Structure 1
Amino acid sequence: MVKSMGNYILIWFFLVSIVPLNCEPDHLQSWKNFWSISDSAFRKLGNYFDNQLTPLIKSESISSSCQGSLLKFIDGIKNFDIDSVRMFDSWGKLPSGLLFGSWSDLGSFDQCVSLENSQYCLLTGSMPLPSKRQHEGLFIPLDKSSFNLTDPLSVHLYPYAHYFHNVNLTFGVCAPRECSPQEMTLIAKSLIHSYGLQMKVNVDLCQHRAKSGNQILFREYVALIIISTVIALNIFGTIYSTHPFLGHFNFPLNWSKLLSTTNNQPNRSYPFIECFKFFAMIYLILTHVGWAFNHNSFHSIFKIQSMYKGILGYSLLPSYMGSEVYFLMTGLELMTFFLSFKGKFTFSSAISFLLIRWARFVTLIGFYISLYILVFSDHVRDLVGGPFWSHLYSATSIPGTCGERWYSHVLLYSHLMANPDNWNLCMMPDWFLQVDFILAFMFLLVLWPLRMSHKRLSISVAMFFIFSGSVILGLVIYYKSASPTWLPYNYVNQQLAVYLAYVHSQPYTHMSPYFIGVLLAFVLQSKDPIIKRKIHLRFMWLLWFIFNTIIFGYEFYINFNIGTMSSTVSIIYASFSRILWSFLFAWPIYCLHYGFVPDGLYRFTCSGFFKPMARINLTVLFMNEIIIRMRNATQIYIADPTFFNTFISIGTPVIVFTYALSFIVSSMVDGPSISLVKSYLKKDGKYDEYLKKPNVNLNNNLISSTQLEKESSKKD
């Protein structure tokens, strides 16, 4: 408070001193007056610090080096030492709009870290609240019985008091480097408690700029070598485009393949499927934009509730199931291929199928691990980092974890062994690939009876997996006491960690959509539609509407705290909601396939625009996390949580940069890796002819299966 008053007094006297009192003011005298007033104000401020802080600083719990640096800082304030004044000037102050949720002032981050012996930290404080309940979120206010105050201030703040479970009063603090965060926390607590406020206070996320630069670590050398190698291969591949190996890295050619709007396979069964993939990814990206922003980086946070209570907020409620669309598509495409596959499929073919699928993923994972290590390194932090660089939603411990745990991501098992008490993960998006790989194993169990001419058995196994996936999911939720859904408007807590570890990132959760896609392939195999009478079509659309209502109704009811839902109902919903969600996409696919939609809609879904956009979906999934984390890590201003600012000024650039960089990375990494896998399988000596084909298929699911057919035909 004193610091804030000192700043306001300083600004006031500055303005008074420079206001012209006549037509020809004496500017030199005005600057002298400004100095005199400033010097006097800081002497008084230094004396106040001396009286209030010196006894706390001289505590036995404060190290001698910290004591000396703080006493030197106070003495510098008294004597107007410019570095001490600049350090004080870098502090955040009490912001306007406190009663409307403006609880953060980051101060001057750049000024603080530019000082030689200073460090920038975030001081956070929150009012004490009743013990946390199992669920805490934006729309779950405190029980009135535990907050039965009647004064005007408490009555006004009651609808938002529960925010303190997740959002803090946050201020930038510029302090001497000799003081540890623990020592500054102790001093801040003692000062706050001396006023009778039992606030929770913490000083953390401290950072400074290394005087002689940061040491290049071994993991950074390795990551730099990998990234540099990829870039060099693309340069030489472009120059020596006819070389048998380097030619796969011909960047202009891979770029043209990526941007091609023609069908890679003229006789494809589902030319509209890229439309579904594109919109599913956009749905996920919008969700990440809405969920992954740090609320401490906004002012007027009381407006967040009203922002989410709009059409966009409603539509994003079940978006945690957006990934199920891809599992549905994967099962559909793979089984569609094998239903028309005429070659032999032996045990060695199955092993090849899995190895090729792993090879397809591992190159991209390895590249992004290297990118994470470099982008979130201390070197980049010192160049572009902001106050929240080490925040949970920013860089946190990504480089170190990637350096230590890279092999668990490359071998596709890191998320399968996730512990909600200690994630220890390098990156999050690859959970999708790990689940996909496990489901590919299970897919072979469905495929094997089909290859033995036991089609009904194959269908029965797929149906068993659909049912068993739902049952296992319900049992896990029950025995692990996990949340039945993501609950996006709840705060990040242990409950979410349990859900992510035991539900969201596990294969059994996604078995039902995957094998519904497999069953859909059997249904669409028939030239004559199974369902074609108008009355039956209308009934199916009625079911589609009912399932939509169930999903959005439940999510609305739970997330906006309309009431409580029994645990039995919640577990049943969690177990079977993904089956309902899969139907919401499977039925439109059925209608598009058999022409039960207007011609204009069919032409739109088959538009060439969706083809290049869908080809980069895997890259987008990884790049989006980097862009959002970097946005949070480099932010040095407090944003306004309005729809326009959040989704236009912030969200749109995030999406644009995500897709733009994904096109580049896909052409440099994805395209060459796919081309190399195909070339390895081709083995027919016609490399030049193959490489120059403009319609080389880049579909993620059919890379291995298409080549299996060619390989098998050669053996025959």
Structure 2
Amino acid sequence: MRQFFWLILGLLCAGLSTSSEPQSSVVVRQLESIPFSFAKFLGQFRSSNHTIGDYLPDKVCVFDLEQFGNALQSDALWALNVYDSWGKIPAGLLQGNYFMPGNFEQCRKQTRPNAARWFNSQHCTVRFGFHTLAFPLSPVWLGICLPDSCEPGFIKLMADYFALENGLDPINDYLQADFCYRNEPSQNLGGVAISAIVILSIIAAGVVASTAAEVFGLLFKRPVPQYLKDISLYNNLATLFKTEPKAEQKTDTLDCVNGIRSILMLQIIAHHVHDALRNLPVSNNLSREEYFETAPGILSYRVSALSADIFLVLSAMLLTYGVMRELTNNAGKIGIVRIWIHRIVRVLPAYGFLIYFVVAFAEHFGEGPLYRHVVQPTVDACADNWWSAILFIQNYVNPDRLCLPHTWYLSVDMQLYIVSPIFIYLLWRYGKQITPGLAMLVLIPVVCVFATFTYNDFWLNPPMADDREMHRLRSTYYATHARMSVWFFGIGFGYFLFQTREKQVKWSVTVLTVVSIFATALSGFIMYTAHEIYKPRALDPLGDAFYESLHRVAWVGCHMWLIFMCVNGYGSVLDSFLSWAVWQPVARLSYCMYLIHYVVIMVTFEAVTRQPFHFSAINVQYIMLGVVGLSAAASLVWTLFIERPCVALEKKVCLLIRRSRQ
């Protein structure tokens, strides 16, 4: 009797103790149970009532999943290793830490005999949304480790079944095949890659042989043909890193342009690093959003994008200066075709070979949960639209699938470069008589952009829907007719510099001071306006239309004043800094750096991310410095092996043509 009493008392106490425990949060239970519940669901998929079909790989997949599920329930070490590599709900989910890829390497290493076949694992990433929560929560990316017998489409089907049965949202805005990685025994190179290896090897062999010939000639004091020197590494390295001191008197060299071009290149790299970071999974998304709403974030991302407009001005200015000098020296005669060919040879080989290189090898550079998702769209766009890229028309023909998106600039530059000699000749021939026409060419694009914004009801911030945003980019960002105002502004400035090339422009200190203060204030106002435009605010389409149509011309005008001050000896410390001889090698590499840096960001940082990036201002600087260093090294190789040999070939062909005419 006494034992029965104590038994009853113990049960009552246990019941009271159990009932007094607080119930765990429903949200917490749902979130924390997702990975293990999904693993159990997959292990039981074969025995459930879900339709599998007669497709053999799907049947093998569910059999392997059942083996995995049983082994996991019995705590088999191999199954625990597989599940251990899965993504788990992380800390900071409410702060935007929604990317949980798990351990990519650990998953890929799992393999063991499984019944009549081997169990080899593959890493996949699936996506789930939440519609049952009382508060907004971003969809999560969950890394899972599955048998490699499971095909991506079937994995997506099982993930959708799990989501629907567990109060989650299936997400269909991604291609599952881009997020599954097997341990392929070997990746056979395609025909494009093999042909690229052959062609690039021939070029490299020619450069190395020429270098050996020049070194041999120097050692044994033998004459070396000039055409071998032109493609020799020894000669081209010396040429690239050769520096000239700044001239004491005013000359045609425009030394300050080297510094401006180099700094602009660094700004463009900073812009594209920030652009990559805006889309990269981070562990502290709210901190990232706050950074891009602050003045440093907006200036580093938005204002640095204006460097492309200054490059257009520099290109137009230098073209005008060079063409007018040739017209003056040759009594009004100029070889327009020769100018076009020289420009094409200067731009196309390095660009074309980079497209070839990306299509051939970009898929083989690395791997990771996001690698195909990041790299494959660029590879596919270049494989399909390479022709519009090398014809420099892709800003109009395929603006929604640009091959190497940053190279829209080359299309704009080349189109304007081709038509400009006609305007430059008229300006040289008739001078101030056609300056009103030139002013109209500056004004018309400004009006066009403003009218396009107001007619289509475009705005800059907050972001529009994707289709409208692409319409805006196609109409007012990539389009040559929307960009040509700064180009013709540069032609007018180049004409002014040429007319005053032989003497210093003498303006009073008062005028120089007032205009300098105005240019500085205008630059500050543009940066302040950019901050106000892109910070969280109410919709203002009219204000955005004024900003988009006017800020580019105003921004390049401020930089043209800086060049004017430096060229005419008023730049003081700024002129000394921008004309520093150190900038000369950087300026020579700037074109190849411009081409290559985007690929460097894509394949060495953005695509190979395997864990959420911790966003901070100092980490951004680390990434930018790394990209600058890798881009400089890669651009040096590209310049020595692609650009310089092609320029040397052009020189040789032109020399042969001149000799044949004589």
Q: TM-score, normalised by structure 2?
A: 0.82
Q: What do residues 274-328 of structure 1 show as CA deviations (whole Å, max 9, x unaligned)?
A: 1111111111111111111364531021111333344531322222221011111
Is the aligned partner of 1:118 residue 2:157? no
Match of 1:216 in 2: 189
Match of 2:313 in 1: 328
Q: Structure 2 regions of 5+ residues with no counterpart? A: 1-27, 112-119, 215-223
CA–CA distance in structure 2, aligned partners of residues 473 and 192 of structure 1: 46
Q: 1:275 aligns with which of 259, 265, 268?
A: 259
Is the aligned partner of 1:193 residue 2:194? no
Say if 1:481 and 1:122 are closer, same or farther in 2 by CA, change over 3 A.
Answer: farther
CA–CA distance in structure 1, aligned partners of residues 62 and 470 of structure 2: 40
- Pairwise CA distance, 1:397: 3.3
Report if the CA contact (8 A) 2:345-2:647 is conserved.
Answer: no
Report if the CA contact (8 A) 2:589-2:635 is conserved.
Answer: yes
Say if 1:128 and 1:456 are closer, same or farther in 2 by CA, change over 3 A.
Answer: farther
Match of 2:394, SS? coil
Report if the CA contact (8 A) 1:640-1:646 is conserved.
Answer: no
Amino acid paired to 1:268:
D
CA–CA distance in structure 1, aligned partners of residues 347 and 104 of structure 2: 40
Match of 1:356 in 2: 342
The worse-fitting range, judged by mean Cα deviation, of 199-208 and 120-129 is: 199-208
Report if the CA contact (8 A) 1:91-1:106 is conserved.
Answer: yes
Q: What do residues 545-593 of structure 1 show as CA deviations (whole Å, max 9, x unaligned)?
A: 442244223321221123332x333223222221101112011111112
Amino acid paired to 1:469:
P
Report if the CA contact (8 A) 1:127-1:200 is conserved.
Answer: no
Match of 2:479 in 1: 506
Match of 2:23 in 1: none
- The number of residues matched between the two structures is 607
Match of 1:659 in 2: 632
- Pairwise CA distance, 1:79: 4.9
Amino acid paired to 1:607:
W
Match of 1:375 in 2: 361
- Pairwise CA distance, 1:47: 7.0
Match of 1:91, SS? coil
Counterpart mapping for 1:72-151 below 5 A: 72-79=67-74, 83-115=78-110, 117-128=120-131
Amino acid paired to 1:647:
Q
Match of 1:557 in 2: 532
Say if 1:113 and 1:512 are closer, same or farther in 2 by CA, change over 3 A.
Answer: same
The worse-fitting range, judged by mean Cα deviation, of 192-201 and 307-316 is: 192-201
Say if 1:197 and 1:209 are closer, same or farther in 2 by CA, change over 3 A.
Answer: closer
Is the aligned partner of 1:641 residue 2:615? yes
Match of 2:404, SS? coil
Say if 1:280 and 1:682 are closer, same or farther in 2 by CA, change over 3 A.
Answer: same
Is the aligned partner of 1:415 residue 2:398? no
Match of 2:406, SS? coil
Q: 2:48 aligns with which of 48, 55, 67?
A: 55
- Pairwise CA distance, 1:529: 6.4
Report if the CA contact (8 A) 1:446-1:459 is conserved.
Answer: no
Counterpart mapping for 1:387-466 below 5 A: 387-391=369-373, 394-420=374-400, 423=401, 425-450=402-427, 453-466=429-442
Report if the CA contact (8 A) 1:619-1:665 is conserved.
Answer: yes
CA–CA distance in structure 2, aligned partners of residues 328 and 97 of structure 1: 46
Say if 1:216 and 1:262 are closer, same or farther in 2 by CA, change over 3 A.
Answer: same
Say if 1:610 and 1:45 are closer, same or farther in 2 by CA, change over 3 A.
Answer: closer
Counterpart mapping for 1:619-634 below 5 A: 619-630=592-603, 631-634=605-608
CA–CA distance in structure 2, aligned partners of residues 45 and 284 of structure 1: 44
Counterpart mapping for 1:573-612 below 5 A: 573-598=547-572, 600-612=573-585
The worse-fitting range, judged by mean Cα deviation, of 629-638 and 194-203 is: 194-203
Question: Alignment identity in percent?
Answer: 17
Report if the CA contact (8 A) 2:246-2:581 is conserved.
Answer: no
Match of 1:144 in 2: none
CA–CA distance in structure 2, aligned partners of residues 237 and 363 of structure 1: 20
CA–CA distance in structure 2, aligned partners of residues 67 and 347 of structure 1: 78
- Pairwise CA distance, 1:439: 0.6
Q: 1:291 aligns with which of 275, 293, 298?
A: 275
Higher helix share: 2
CA–CA distance in structure 1, aligned partners of residues 625 and 529 of structure 2: 29
Say if 1:528 and 1:263 are closer, same or farther in 2 by CA, change over 3 A.
Answer: closer
Q: TM-score, normalised by structure 1?
A: 0.76
Report if the CA contact (8 A) 1:557-1:563 is conserved.
Answer: no
Amino acid paired to 2:571:
V
Report if the CA contact (8 A) 1:61-1:183 is conserved.
Answer: no
Match of 1:225, SS? helix
Say if 1:85 and 1:549 are closer, same or farther in 2 by CA, change over 3 A.
Answer: same
Match of 1:706 in 2: none
CA–CA distance in structure 2, aligned partners of residues 230 and 645 of structure 1: 38
Q: What do residues 494-550 of structure 1 show as CA deviations (whole Å, max 9, x unaligned)?
A: 344333333322212321111111111232322566672233323323432442244
Amino acid paired to 2:633:
A
Say if 1:500 and 1:237 are closer, same or farther in 2 by CA, change over 3 A.
Answer: farther
Amino acid paired to 1:236:
A
Match of 1:146 in 2: none
Report if the CA contact (8 A) 1:325-1:585 is conserved.
Answer: yes
- Pairwise CA distance, 1:364: 0.5
Q: 1:568 aligns with which of 542, 550, 566?
A: 542
Q: 1:516 aligns with which of 483, 486, 489?
A: 489
Q: What do residues 655-695 of structure 1 show as CA deviations (whole Å, max 9, x unaligned)?
A: 21111221222122222222333343345999xxxxxxxxx
Q: 1:494 aligns with which of 467, 488, 512?
A: 467
Q: 1:261 aligns with which of 243, 251, 276?
A: 243
Match of 2:128, SS? strand
CA–CA distance in structure 2, aligned partners of residues 457 and 61 of structure 1: 81
Say if 1:682 and 1:215 are closer, same or farther in 2 by CA, change over 3 A.
Answer: same
Q: What do residues 199-219 of structure 1 show as CA deviations (whole Å, max 9, x unaligned)?
A: 647773333345431232111
- Pairwise CA distance, 1:635: 2.0
Task: Give the aligned CA root-mean-square deviation in angstroms.
Answer: 3.5
Q: What do residues 396-415 of structure 1 show as CA deviations (whole Å, max 9, x unaligned)?
A: 23334433433322222223
- Pairwise CA distance, 1:61: 11
Is the aligned partner of 1:68 residue 2:63? yes
Is the aligned partner of 1:179 residue 2:166? no
- Pairwise CA distance, 1:96: 1.6
Amino acid paired to 2:48:
P
Report if the CA contact (8 A) 2:368-2:607 is conserved.
Answer: yes
Say if 1:482 and 1:360 are closer, same or farther in 2 by CA, change over 3 A.
Answer: farther
Q: Structure 1 regions of 5+ residues with no counterpart? A: 9-41, 130-148, 687-710
CA–CA distance in structure 2, aligned partners of residues 539 and 683 of structure 1: 54
CA–CA distance in structure 2, aligned partners of residues 454 and 403 of structure 1: 46
The worse-fitting range, judged by mean Cα deviation, of 265-274 and 652-661 is: 265-274
CA–CA distance in structure 1, aligned partners of residues 490 and 175 of structure 2: 51
CA–CA distance in structure 2, aligned partners of residues 505 and 113 of structure 1: 42
CA–CA distance in structure 2, aligned partners of residues 308 and 533 of structure 1: 42
